[in-house]
Chain A
Amino acid sequence: MTTASTTSTPTSTPSASVAPLLSIAGLVRRFGGLTAVNGLSLSLADGELVSVIGPNGAGKTTLFNLITGLDTPDVGSVAFAGQDVTGFAAERLAGLGLARTFQHGRVFGNLSVLDNVLVGAHTRLRAVRPPLGLPLLGPLAELGLALLPPAAVRAEEERLRAEATEIIALFGDRLTPRLDKPAHSLSYANRRRVEIARALALKPRLLLLDEPTAGMNPTETAEMLEIIRGLKGRGLTILLIEHKLDLVMQLSDRVVVMDHGARIAEGLPSAVATDPAVIEAYLGHKAVGAANQDDAAAVVPTKRGIGE
């Protein structure tokens, strides 16, 4: 099913001329007999917002895990900011400016909202984590500085707290009144917001969002759409997994469609929405004969479809 689709992929992408921020090539990840990601290549330019869509089990989350170092590919490479980062550990990639959210939500339940976001700023601690580069002295210095903080350490903590509060305020008064509440006491939607706030606290160069609006109602989804649009407006590079296609169509510079671990289409949102291979993937193989453009419009709304 992958061969037919390549023809429908537009050849010119907006990022063709600039050096990509993220570029992955020929990524393969197998789980036993199942190939979750199958020879996937993708590149992302600075400031771009690219969405990855595809039916359940297409391999989108696995792709994120491979990019963020939580999993290592069997074949293929990942380059970030001009550096080959294949096989780098997750914590190292975070240090390079990669932040992600998790599909099923992985907030730190017993930590307060503020502490959750502050953990997001962990890689930016400088004063309390002097980069000594020594295996034993570094941690011991950190311990000493934490127990007897000099002015610089206290100032850094204050600054990060102020910044975290500011990031939290991005979500209106959804989170701000709950700064000191443990994350497990929040609503599902609020936990998703905390995740995004935590990711932003890292000051990422690339933000990966795995279904940020899962479990949100239309109002909340619209709110989230505005927030993501705002982040994009500030020039943040974003890779987005999302099932809500109207949101994808409104936000994306480019859409990559995955099915069975492979890319079956890529291009402008409007082009992808009418791609027969995409429609086939979404409708399932039984419906192939019956599928016509009207059905497709119902499944994959175009920009016009949502009234722009």
Chain B
Amino acid sequence: MFPTSFGPWLDYTINGLVIGNIYALLAVGLALIFGVSHLINFAHGSVYMVGAYIGWLGITKLNLPLPVTFAAVAVGCGLLGAVIERVGLRPLRNAPRIAPLLATIGLSVVLDQSAQLLFSPDPRALPTQLPSWRIAIGGGSIGALDLLIAGVGIGSAALLYGFLRFTRLGWAVRATALDRDAAQQCGVDVDKVNRTVFAIASALGGVSGLLVGMYYNTIDPNMGFQAGLKGIVAQLIGGVGNVPGAIAGSLLLGLIESYGIALFGTSYRNLFAFVALILILVLRPNGLFAKARRLPPEPLTGTFIAPSRPLVLPGWLIGLLIVAALALPFAVQQPYLLQTLGNAWLYALLALSLTLVAGTVGQVSLGHAGLLAIGAYASALLALDAGIPVLLAVPLAGVIAAALGTALVFPAFRLRGHYVSIATLAVGEIVTLVILNWESLTRGPIGVTGVPPLSVAGTPLVSGQWVYWIPLVVLLVFAGVQTRLLSSHLGRTLRAIREDDVAARSYGVDLNRYKGLAFAVAGFVAGVGGALMAHFYSYINHETFPAPVSMLALTMVILGGLGNVAGAVLGAVVLVGLPELFRAAAEYRMLIYGVVLLLLIRFRPQGLLGTV
């Protein structure tokens, strides 16, 4: 299967460089944005998707000449970029550093979902009017589109260079990137600089989306997520904020992917990028081209903890609520309602798990759905393939999720702030990709069918009440355990790590040990949650726990109040239970989550019950 002659390799090289060029258009924008605002812009992938759709409108609906379409994409996305800066960055200038990052995640969810609603989730063809000739060189070949992409890439780089080097605004951008405060004192309008940079970056990103759409002749509303991540990976390879580094990193990433596909097959494509990301983060956190040994800057606030007074629910109220929740199936018999609430309890397990690591320890994980997936697959496969009773498989799955989850995130323990979020996001993607590709174990894309239900003495517990009660009881037990943990010495130790990891270390707190403990507990809880889901749903595949579930979990946790046990449960009920009960159409749900996340970060970062 390996290509042996020289020709195909040349093709793979050309392909890698073309893809790298497209990544570069994204990564350069990300690097510019990071340079002036120290923000990793997760909405960048969505801008890229919007660019593709504007291009699609121009080409297929309006029949515009290609150059006009390109101009429309650049202008449209440039404006969108300015809006993102206005909504996602400027109001959050004095918020914790992670707040704008979360805001860009919210924005990206809103943009992607809006595109789905407007254009339907189905892919669309994006035909090009380019001539179809190809020049043969040395066994490989280059087409008109390849040349166009190369031309746009080089042309943009030249324009950007000229702008940064020779215009007043370009100088202001560079000054802001060097030292924001100093630039401001010298009269640089930092807001204007930010707006300009977001506009330029987004114009480049949009053009990149259009080019990709033309290259593969297909676009879809979710195309931005992976692409945005690729841009971030490329940027990290080159060193964050480093524009030439971003270009080099992009070309390198394009080549890695292209050769990787040649060797292992297409379904592995994204795996290379994420493994490369983890390796870079762990081995060379300042990028491939960084030289000097740097010291972590003084007080780093990577966490998203707003000083607040948490609402302390009185014991009797909690007791009352628990009794009411347990007694509900006696009063209400509608299976639909019970099932919905049962599902909310299952998601509350995920929220409980995430609130421990993101809230209590301050490690904002963006790949938490991966733990659900590990737990679900572990339990399903233990029950089906190893013949282990379901009641034993579920806790075993919790242990496996705890061990595997902690081991996977362990390399990221030395990272801080944004990098933790990016690394966990990558780990979540890696879990999904391994499930997809490890067919002999996981059955690959087909998924696992016929997962046996929970049963006691041969009687399956599948009726409405059990679907409600079992998750509720498990949730109550874990919530109790977590409350207890928080009031022990571990509670203050974990929170100390979140508040100031340097000070914590100086007082003898071994960060790896306690982060490990927290992730292990969180992994167990989420793993059991995922296992229960598998046994209730009876069918799972690699798309049962996609990245948006991680974002949903984060929204639940922020809604309830980070680190807040009762808040996690409340967040799950509000975000999973209410939309279902109000029969909000499923396609609007993610949009609602995105908007809720945005509003919370902007107006109530401490959530409903307050951070603990």
Q: Indicate if the CB atoms of B307 and A184 lie closer than 8 Å.
A: yes
Give the docked Cα–Cα distance between A198 and B508 (Å).
12
- Whether B295 is near chain A, meaning CB under 8 Å from some CB there, is yes
Q: Indicate if the CB atoms of A91 and B505 lie closer than 8 Å.
A: yes
**What A residues does B490 contact at CB under 8 A?**
142-143, 146
Contact partner, B502, options A99, A106, A185, Cβ 8 Å? A106
Q: Indicate if the CB atoms of A128 and B489 lie closer than 8 Å.
A: yes
CB distance from A88 to the nearest CB of B (A): 12
Contact partner, A90, options B292, B500, B505, Cβ 8 Å? B505
Q: Indicate if the CB atoms of B507 and A122 lie closer than 8 Å.
A: yes
- Whether A109 is near chain B, meaning CB under 8 Å from some CB there, is yes
- Whether B496 is near chain A, meaning CB under 8 Å from some CB there, is yes
Query: What are 21 A-to-B residue pairs whose CB atoms are below 8 Å?
Result: A31-B295, A65-B295, A71-B295, A94-B508, A99-B506, A99-B507, A102-B506, A106-B502, A108-B495, A109-B499, A110-B499, A115-B492, A119-B504, A120-B507, A122-B493, A122-B508, A128-B489, A139-B517, A147-B488, A157-B489, A182-B309
CB distance from B359 to the nearest CB of A (A): 11
Interface residues of A in 77-112 (CB under 8 A from B): 89-91, 94-95, 99-100, 102, 104, 106-111
Indicate with 1 or 0, residue by residue over B488-530, a CB within 8 angstroms of chain A CB atoms: 1110110110011011111111110100110011000000000
Of the candidates B481, B510, B511, the one having the most CB atoms from chain A within 10 angstroms of its own CB is: B510
Contact partner, B507, options A65, A89, A94, Cβ 8 Å? A94
**What A residues does B307 contact at CB under 8 A?**
109-110, 182, 184-185
- Whether B134 is near chain A, meaning CB under 8 Å from some CB there, is no
- Whether B32 is near chain A, meaning CB under 8 Å from some CB there, is no
**What A residues does B511 contact at CB under 8 A?**
91
CB distance from B65 to the nearest CB of A (A): 52
- Whether A237 is near chain B, meaning CB under 8 Å from some CB there, is no
Contact partner, A202, options B298, B507, B612, Cβ 8 Å? B507
CB distance from B290 to the nearest CB of A (A): 12
Interface size on B, residues (CB 8 A): 36
- Whether A70 is near chain B, meaning CB under 8 Å from some CB there, is yes
- Whether A118 is near chain B, meaning CB under 8 Å from some CB there, is yes
- Whether B305 is near chain A, meaning CB under 8 Å from some CB there, is yes
- Whether A39 is near chain B, meaning CB under 8 Å from some CB there, is no
List 8 tightest A-B contacts by C-beta distance, closest first: A94-B508, A123-B508, A108-B499, A146-B488, A106-B503, A115-B492, A90-B505, A184-B307
- Whether A198 contacts B507 in the complex (CB less than 8 A), given A139-B516, A143-B517, A143-B521, comes out as yes
Q: Indicate if the CB atoms of B488 and A149 lie closer than 8 Å.
A: yes
- Whether B165 is near chain A, meaning CB under 8 Å from some CB there, is no
Q: Which residue of A lies closest to B505 (CB)?
A: A90
Give the docked Cα–Cα distance between A109 and B307 (Å).
8
- Whether B485 is near chain A, meaning CB under 8 Å from some CB there, is yes
- Whether A125 is near chain B, meaning CB under 8 Å from some CB there, is yes
- Whether B131 is near chain A, meaning CB under 8 Å from some CB there, is no
Of the candidates B490, B505, B516, the one having the most CB atoms from chain A within 10 angstroms of its own CB is: B505
Contact partner, A119, options B481, B492, B513, B521, Cβ 8 Å? B492
- Whether A110 contacts B305 in the complex (CB less than 8 A), given A119-B493, A125-B489, A147-B484, comes out as yes
Q: Indicate if the CB atoms of A146 and B510 lie closer than 8 Å.
A: no
- Whether A68 is near chain B, meaning CB under 8 Å from some CB there, is yes
- Whether A119 contacts B488 in the complex (CB less than 8 A), given A106-B502, A109-B499, A147-B481, comes out as no
- Whether A32 is near chain B, meaning CB under 8 Å from some CB there, is yes
Give the docked Cα–Cα distance between A147 and B521 (Å).
12
Contact partner, A89, options B488, B503, B504, B505, Cβ 8 Å? B505
Indicate with 1 or 0, residue by residue over B278-300, a CB within 8 angstroms of chain A CB atoms: 00000000000000100100110
**What B residues does A184 contact at CB under 8 A?**
307
Indicate with 1 or 0, residue by residue over B598-612, a CB within 8 angstroms of chain A CB atoms: 000000000000011
Of the candidates A68, A111, A182, the one having the most CB atoms from chain B within 10 angstroms of its own CB is: A111
Q: Indicate if the CB atoms of B499 and A111 lie closer than 8 Å.
A: yes
**What B residues does A120 contact at CB under 8 A?**
507
Q: Which residue of B lies closest to A183 (CB)?
A: B499
**What B residues does A122 contact at CB under 8 A?**
489, 493, 507-509
Contact partner, B298, options A90, A99, A100, A104, Cβ 8 Å? A104
Q: Which residue of A lies closest to B403 (CB)?
A: A136
Interface residues of A in 113-151 (CB under 8 A from B): 115, 118-120, 122-123, 125, 128, 138-139, 142-143, 146-147, 149
Contact partner, A111, options B481, B492, B502, B521, Cβ 8 Å? B492
Of the candidates A71, A94, A100, A119, the one having the most CB atoms from chain B within 10 angstroms of its own CB is: A119
Give the docked Cα–Cα distance between A115 and B497 (Å).
13
**What A residues does B611 contact at CB under 8 A?**
110
Give the docked Cα–Cα distance between A185 and B308 (Å).
10
Q: Which residue of B lies closest to A71 (CB)?
A: B295
- Whether A111 contacts B496 in the complex (CB less than 8 A), given A91-B505, A100-B506, comes out as yes
Of the candidates B305, B481, B513, the one having the most CB atoms from chain A within 10 angstroms of its own CB is: B513
Q: Which residue of A lies closest to B503 (CB)?
A: A106
Q: Indicate if the CB atoms of A108 and B503 lie closer than 8 Å.
A: yes
**What B residues does A89 contact at CB under 8 A?**
505
Q: Which residue of A lies closest to B517 (CB)?
A: A139
Q: Which residue of A lies closest to B482 (CB)?
A: A147
CB distance from A183 to the nearest CB of B (A): 9
Q: Indicate if the CB atoms of B517 and A142 lie closer than 8 Å.
A: yes
**What B residues does A123 contact at CB under 8 A?**
507-508
**What A residues does B506 contact at CB under 8 A?**
68, 70, 90-91, 94, 99-100, 102
Give the docked Cα–Cα distance between A106 and B504 (Å).
9
Q: Indicate if the CB atoms of B489 and A202 lie closer than 8 Å.
A: no
Interface residues of A in 156-215 (CB under 8 A from B): 157, 182, 184-185, 198, 202
Give the docked Cα–Cα distance between A224 and B492 (Å).
27
CB distance from A51 to the nearest CB of B (A): 21
Of the candidates A32, A104, A139, the one having the most CB atoms from chain B within 10 angstroms of its own CB is: A139
Indicate with 1 or 0, residue by residue over B287-330, a CB within 8 angstroms of chain A CB atoms: 00000100100110000010101000000000000000000000
Give the docked Cα–Cα distance between A4 and B153 (Å).
60
Give the docked Cα–Cα distance between A265 and B255 (Å).
59
CB distance from B512 to the nearest CB of A (A): 10
**What A residues does B496 contact at CB under 8 A?**
108, 111, 115, 119
Give the docked Cα–Cα distance between A122 and B494 (Å).
12
**What B residues does A185 contact at CB under 8 A?**
307
CB distance from A15 to the nearest CB of B (A): 25
CB distance from B341 to the nearest CB of A (A): 28
Give the docked Cα–Cα distance between A68 and B508 (Å).
11
Q: Indicate if the CB atoms of A146 and B507 lie closer than 8 Å.
A: no
Give the docked Cα–Cα distance between A308 and B507 (Å).
37
Of the candidates B298, B489, B490, the one having the most CB atoms from chain A within 10 angstroms of its own CB is: B489
- Whether A118 contacts B488 in the complex (CB less than 8 A), given A94-B506, A110-B307, A110-B499, comes out as no
Of the candidates A111, A118, A122, the one having the most CB atoms from chain B within 10 angstroms of its own CB is: A122
Give the docked Cα–Cα distance between A166 and B329 (Å).
52
**What B residues does A100 contact at CB under 8 A?**
506
Q: Indicate if the CB atoms of A106 and B495 lie closer than 8 Å.
A: no
Give the docked Cα–Cα distance between A115 and B292 (Å).
38
**What A residues does B508 contact at CB under 8 A?**
91, 94-95, 122-123, 202
Give the docked Cα–Cα distance between A255 and B469 (Å).
70
Q: Indicate if the CB atoms of A91 and B503 lie closer than 8 Å.
A: no
**What B residues does A109 contact at CB under 8 A?**
305, 307, 499-500
